[in-house]
Amino acid sequence: MQQPEIKAVFFDIDGTLMSFKTHQVPDSTVEAIRILQSKGIKTILATGRSINSIDHVSFLDFDGYITFNGGYCVNRDMEILFRQTIDQGDIQRVLAYAKKQPLSFSFMSEQEVTIHDVTPEIAGMYAHLNLPVPPLVDVEQVDTASILQTNIFLGPEQEKEFMETVMPNSIASRWTPLFADVNPKGLSKKVGIDLFCKYFGIPVEQTMAFGDGGNDITMLQHVGIGIAMGNANPEVKEIADYITLEVDEDGIQAALQHYGLI
């Protein structure tokens, strides 16, 4: 089977573009992206992070940004192409639930990220991502209509019941046992890919994507060629078309060379 001509490549951030060990983008990845761009291949970020948490990779000069796992997409000039908030009832139920029993969660909007109840594990997670711990949520002042994503700090064994009873209009995905990304039902990075394929006039068959976590699965399954990093979760590797080296072993460069793109 002939390999499709790749016209756009989508990149996750944490554990894909950026190393958890160095908190840097490897030089080999920076150079690889520059080569793609010089060939006219579109490079697009696809992350679960908020639009306000990507400054550290903006120097890569992407052609577009999928943030909040597809809930907020902008072009390179930061013009909004798509925006979808979480159901207000789901947010209200999270607030009610947290009044009755301990629950850590973060709320993310275009303007800010806030968090409710910071445990040592949560503080360690933010350090792992090289991010400051967000300010505490003012539960009396939450604008329930503005929340694009929330992180719910529950283990996988608690997730199903919580989502069914508290956030039935939302969907959870995770790349760590510590928490789940929660977005409006029907949203994923796949939605962002379709949006940018239409925006740039590129068939989805002519796209490639790199990822490592659970929230990358729909993306890797949807593109023409889905590549799992060597450090990816086992379930991500299972669905990938190709497994490359780890991020710290120049995995992105290696895969792009394997497919003859650089």
Q: pLDDT at residue 20 above 90?
A: no
The residue-averaged pLDDT of 209-230 equals 96
**pLDDT, position 134:** 87
C-alpha 73/C-alpha 195 separation (Å) is 8
**pLDDT, position 185:** 94
**pLDDT, position 25:** 96
What are the residues whose beta carbons fall under 8 Å from the beta carbon of 19, sequence distance 6 or more?
Answer: 25, 26, 247, 248
Note the pTM of the prediction, 2 decimals.
0.89
**pLDDT, position 175:** 76
**pLDDT, position 1:** 54
The residue-averaged pLDDT of 80-100 equals 96
The residue-averaged pLDDT of 195-209 equals 98
DSSP annotation of 128: H
SS3 content of the chain, % helix, strand, coil (to 5): 35, 25, 40
**pLDDT, position 2:** 64
**How many Cβ atoms are within 10 Å of 176's Cβ, its own excluded?**
17
Q: pLDDT at residue 182 above 90?
A: yes
Banded model confidence at residue 53, pLDDT cuts 50, 70, 90: confident
**pLDDT, position 52:** 86
Q: pLDDT at residue 230 above 80?
A: yes
The residue-averaged pLDDT of 181-198 equals 95
The residue-averaged pLDDT of 55-60 equals 93
Q: pLDDT at residue 251 above 70?
A: yes
Lowest mean pLDDT among 65-74, 85-94, 113-122: 113-122
Q: pLDDT at residue 128 above 90?
A: no
> Higher-confidence residue: 40 or 23?
40
The residue-averaged pLDDT of 169-190 equals 90
Q: pLDDT at residue 238 above 80?
A: yes
Hey, is 167 helix, strand or coil?
coil
C-alpha 254/C-alpha 29 separation (Å) is 9
Determine what percent of the chain is predicted with pLDDT higher than 70: 99
C-alpha angle 202/203/206, rounded to 5°?
90
C-alpha 96/C-alpha 107 separation (Å) is 14
The residue-averaged pLDDT of 87-97 equals 96
The partner residues of 9 in beta bridges, in order of sequence, read 43, 208
With beta carbons less than 8 A apart as the criterion, state whether 209 and 202 touch.
Answer: no
The residue-averaged pLDDT of 230-249 equals 96
The residue-averaged pLDDT of 88-104 equals 94
What mean pLDDT value characterizes the chain? 93
The residue-averaged pLDDT of 137-163 equals 92
